[in-house]
A and B are shown apart, each in its own frame.
Chain A
């Protein structure tokens, strides 16, 4: 008998590059013969695009879903109006076991709502969290991973201590399963290293996490510690997390813009940049969001990777790989196990 492969459902209609990027990503992944992709969307258009692609038929399937949630639509209204929207159909297929994980580059709110309507929230998870990775100085895990994980980056604006504790465990489980970091260092993002710093819910979360033997909690970290990689998992609430993430993305784009400006401005600078090109390419690769593979939504019983709205085929293919890894590694089960093992005074 052949080995078991995992199937990732891909919302083929979401994202700025739409169906073409999704089909190409699925086709590319199928050639690796490790992961099967279930393309969910307008069947005739998917079939037409598939016929133009190099793919392996044993690793690509198509499920028809005629409607699409527009990027700017109100999530609730759109899902109510379009019960056959690709994201909703894809989430149902995952919930029913036709696929093991979900990837979408479409409307974030609608995607999360579709998961909330079809997936089960894990026991002990008060709020689901949107996580993201960012590059740091430090390397970690068996693959010398340069990325730290930050959560929540936008699923819920403000949360209580219960949710922050749950986020810490979800992030730790993700880092151990996906980044293969056996004992990830977890920290709360605050305005000072002292345990009493920050809003009351952060102080309370600090108190509970520091008593939790199942977690490598290193206390509070400040903004300056983020790019240094002091912690492998940064826990915060959605409002702060989103601001931090966008700022990190902005800095990386600004560095590239400055380099471009320097290249255009002076011959000497151009020569300097030419000599530094190897390092610049590495830096660009490190800060290239397309290779991160999207942001996982943690807290559901099924893995869901939210890819960037601007994702092209390469970025979506990487998102599928992360989703496959999440399904294969039993990430959701690990989160549930961690949360069920919380000591009484850490709850």
Chain B
């Protein structure tokens, strides 16, 4: 009799869409209009995002679930679903914002506000998640994804209490029904710690230090090659997949090998990957659509990277002061808005 294989819960990938998967311009009225009217085939990906998603599905051998959670209005579902179909992305769920309802109910704050939308959506989605499943979350630095995702992780693990949560919701100006949805969902969820990694695409090129406060769980990346390196380090992707994503960036997008090399060096500097992982990449990322130049790049950098100092202090995961962080984010948002206004004025 064959032994029954142990049940392995699927790994869940939750993706934001705009500025994480899609290269969307929301910063100007013309950009906003263009986004709304674009046909699926005209929508552009962030380089490497579709390749990474496909590789994640393949690497999990079917034992992965992919969900999108986006601030785009529900009316965009058809276009966005078609775009994902064209990209060959099979997804398990797609949550979009009910902005028409927000508009009709004159809830203007809710149209742009992310905490009151994403947090209940994430918690609600977790209720139906298979027991023991772990999660990797993808967002960007244009919104408050690092904060919302981290808060979601710490709420599930009960590292953040209800009093702190309510302070955050007050500060964010979350509407009562969304607050109720958050607390209801939390009440239904057992204590658990499923969030393994939060990957933030630096669309706005925010300084990486900005994310230190969230701890090592949050990894800011400049491109999806660096995201692939993070997932390789986490054991979610194989060396061949990382190599293929690097190769795709060079062959299909406006990347060159030196750009890939500098991204790799940056990942090593910021300890997204360590020297041992770089060695493994060099040794294993051979064949199967991986350019020989990319393999050579891995091997060369591994050899040039000094080993980590065993006595150097390691970053530890702590619970951020969420109300203070939200205040900082709100202040940063105001500054960013003023900066963009200044730039558009000069342009």
Contact = CB atoms under 8 A, between A and B. Distances in A.
A50 B263 CA distance: 14
A53 B207 contact: yes
Nearest to A46: B269
Contacts of B223: 57-58
Given A4-B256, A36-B258, A54 B205 contact: yes
B105 interface: no
Given A2-B253, A2-B259, A51-B207, A58 B222 contact: yes
B254 interface: yes
A125 to B, nearest CB: 30
Contacts of B207: 51-55
B222 A62 contact: no
Contacts of A56: 205, 222
Q: Interface size class for chain B? A: 20 to 34
Interface string A255-293: 000000000000000000000000000000000000000
Interface size class of A (residues with CB under 8 A): 20 to 34
Interface string A26-41: 0000010000100000
A7 interface: yes
A174 interface: no
A4 B256 CA distance: 7
A2 B256 contact: yes
Given A1-B251, A2-B259, A54 B206 contact: yes
A59 interface: yes
A58 B255 contact: yes
Nearest to B265: A61
B209 interface: yes
B346 to A, nearest CB: 14
B254 to A, nearest CB: 4
Interface of chain A, helix or strand or loop or mixed? mixed
Interface string B192-211: 00000000000011111100
Dominant secondary structure of chain B at its interface with chain A: helix
Given A52-B209, A54-B205, A56-B205, A61 B262 contact: yes
Contacts of A143: none
B256 A57 contact: no
B245 to A, nearest CB: 14
A81 interface: no
A47 interface: yes
Given A3-B254, A60-B262, A51 B208 contact: yes
Residue in A2, A7, A54, A56 with the greatest tally of chain B CB atoms within 10 Å? A2
A47 B226 CA distance: 17
Interface string A51-77: 111111111111000000000000000
Interface of A: 1-5, 7, 31, 36, 47, 50-62
14 contacts: A2-B253, A2-B255, A2-B259, A3-B256, A5-B259, A31-B205, A51-B208, A51-B270, A52-B207, A56-B205, A57-B262, A57-B263, A57-B267, A60-B266
